[in-house]
């Protein structure tokens, strides 16, 4: 999933709880789905950022030689401007792009 292409809000906006309940029938279950997905997105973003910044890492121990790298600053600013992982997860849920299942509910139906 390319989270950069999702048009999520950059600011937090109030949500209607009935929208959350409509997804799974339980507000708390939907919130947990969003929390798990946002953790996945955050870890993907962090890993990608670390890989890009690794190119600029200096392995010398010279503390006096601190310099600014324009490309590194631009990469950092780009990731700061991206929507927060929770907002991306909510947008994915609204668009029906998150697959979720509850094994506990499946076991109860089978009994």
Per-residue pLDDT tens digits for 54-87: 887 766 655 555 566 788 888 888 888 888 898 8
Quote the number of domains for the chain.
Answer: 1
Q: For residue 100, is it within any domain?
A: yes
Q: Which range marks the domain in which residue 78 is found?
A: 17-56+68-110
Q: For residue 28, is it within any domain?
A: yes
31-38 long-range CB contacts below 8 Å, 24 or more apart?
A: 33/93, 33/98, 33/100, 34/86, 34/89, 34/90, 34/93, 35/86, 35/89, 37/89, 37/92, 37/93, 37/98, 38/84, 38/85, 38/86, 38/88, 38/89
Q: For residue 97, is it within any domain?
A: yes
Q: For residue 22, is it within any domain?
A: yes
Q: For residue 1, is it within any domain?
A: no
- pTM of the predicted protein model: 0.77
């Amino acid at each position: 999933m390319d989270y950069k292409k999702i048009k999520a809000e950059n600011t937090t906006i109030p949500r209607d709880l009935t929208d959350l309940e409509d997804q799974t029938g339980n507000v708390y279950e939907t919130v947990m789905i969003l929390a798990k997905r946002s953790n996945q997105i955050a870890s993907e973003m962090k890993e990608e950022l670390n890989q890009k910044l690794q190119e600029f890492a200096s392995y010398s121990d010279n503390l006096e030689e601190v310099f600014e790298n324009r490309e590194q600053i631009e990469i950092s600013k780009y990731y700061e401007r991206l929507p927060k992982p929770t907002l991306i997860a909510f947008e994915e849920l609204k668009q029906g792009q998150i697959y979720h299942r509850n094994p506990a509910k499946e076991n109860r139906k089978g009994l």
